Chain A
Amino acid sequence: MTLMERMTMTDQPLLRVEGLTKRYGQRIGCADVSFDLYPGEVLGIVGESGSGKSTLLSCLAGHQRPDLGRIAYDGRDVLAMSETERRRLSRTDWAYVHQNPRDGLRMGVSAGGNVGERLMAVGARHYGDIRGKAADWLGRVEIAADRIDDRPSAFSGGMQQRLQIARNLVTGPRLVFMDEPTGGLDVSVQARLLDLLRGLVRDLGLSVIIVTHDLAVVRLLAHRLMVMKSGRVVEQGLTDQVLDDPQHAYTQLLVSSVLQV
């Protein structure tokens, strides 16, 4: 059976979210968010600053505990897991690409070490294999081989972000959370990265939840789109349908405010 058949035949969502709500005192972080994410699907979440999209992502990834709702990953209740179980999940099956690469990297460890460290966390021990795999991933995110022993603090912001992505993807996760991942990148690197991500999604059946305000990025990357405003999902559907035939007033405003997407 091909990967494609496997993907289209699975009727089990990889991630199932129901009624997720997070409040900060009286203020709503996100409220009553529900969706299913299937293997191989890329879900884009868009909205302006303060719309709750980053709060939602951090609740999903286990960085914050929601007040209400359920999250099931591969049939398992994530909120009922022990801390140990959840941490193991985020080292193996999950990956999280932070907006600021400094949050996702160890700045005092070499570039190769940053990538190799995640491999070691899942049991890799052979130095040559680890270094070889790290070098391969640095190449895939366009970091020159001779920079493998440099620390990320010596890298530009764009290079740091590329390194963070290599560090995250080296272990072949099934679910990747991304918070404005292309924000700090050169346009050309952003394009290469989008292509890389599309290839990974396709070849590995990767599921991705990507939070961004860049509608051009979601158009090229996301299969489905969720639009958030004031903590709530105001519209969701096929990405191109939501962008080309938006139904909600806020989405219409958002789409018409962009020069061209």
Chain B
Amino acid sequence: MIRIENLSKSFTLHNQGGAVIPVMAGAALTVGPGECVGLTGQSGAGKSTLMRMVYGNYLAAGGRLMVGDLDVATAEPRQIIALRRQTLGYVSQFLRVVPRVPTLEVVAEPLLALGTPADQARERAASLLRRLNIPERLWSLSPTTFSGGEQQRVNIARGFAHAYPALLLDEPTASLDAANREVVLSLIEEAKARGAAILGIFHDEAARARVCDRLVDVTEFTPKAAA
């Protein structure tokens, strides 16, 4: 489902004398349907950079980056928008929403964007929020006022609302209590069971051991000249 070949990335800092910083070279990995692959490597090794490239948030400098049958490295913005809507979900570490939009709508939005009838979309959103222990009295409020942990759970609910064939998870269990961590791990297991290809970053070692089928150390992709 996800196939990365010889992927490279560099940043050019035009406002700092045009310095070119190569951050990744020769990156390669695959994630099959129903499989969860964990990215490892110390902080700054490029785990998040690689995830952002798969999502089309960072531009690739070279190589191939297939998600389904689309090469994200060379795709048109419009193709990436369609990919994100239908195929590729992303649970980032931060929730970014329009202020004042109720939590229930924030979670239902990916489904509404796909044309799911509003009542069905809200029902699915409600069941996820309930599972993730967000009290019903908060659903009509904007998540921008919530605690960090609550925001993260809203973000997870939103990311799991649609059954994406491919999912990117950036620290989905960080700073969750034991009960909610368990809910998130079951959501991941259920997604795998229905055939989703998952690429994730998990600092939580027990979580990683439980859901990941394989690990890929991104340190291998650090450009040799910069090492």
A residues contacting B by CB (< 8 A) are 2-5, 8, 38, 41, 187-188, 191-192, 194-195, 198, 202, 219-220, 223-224, 237-238, 240-241, 244-245, 247-249, 252-253, 256
Contact = CB atoms under 8 A, between A and B. Distances in A.
A41 B78 contact: yes
B91 to A, nearest CB: 15
B78 A4 contact: no
Interface in B1-41: 11-15
B52 to A, nearest CB: 7
Contacts of A252: 13-15
B28 to A, nearest CB: 21
B209 interface: no
B46 to A, nearest CB: 14
A247 B61 CA distance: 11
A245 B59 contact: yes
A195 B98 contact: yes
Give me the 3 closest cross-chain CB pairs, A-B, nearest first: A249-B14, A2-B115, A4-B115
Interface of A is mostly: helix
30 contacts: A2-B114, A4-B114, A5-B115, A8-B85, A38-B78, A41-B78, A41-B81, A187-B99, A191-B98, A191-B100, A192-B100, A195-B100, A195-B101, A198-B98, A202-B113, A219-B96, A220-B97, A224-B81, A238-B56, A238-B80, A238-B81, A241-B56, A241-B58, A241-B59, A241-B77, A244-B58, A245-B57, A247-B12, A247-B59, A252-B14
Report, as a range, how many residues of chain B touch the other chain. Answer: 20 to 34
Interface of B: 11-15, 52, 56-59, 77-78, 80-82, 85-86, 96-101, 112-115
B112 A194 contact: no
A207 to B, nearest CB: 12
A244 B13 contact: no
B14 A240 contact: no
B7 to A, nearest CB: 14
Contact of B57 (A2, A241, A248, A249): A241
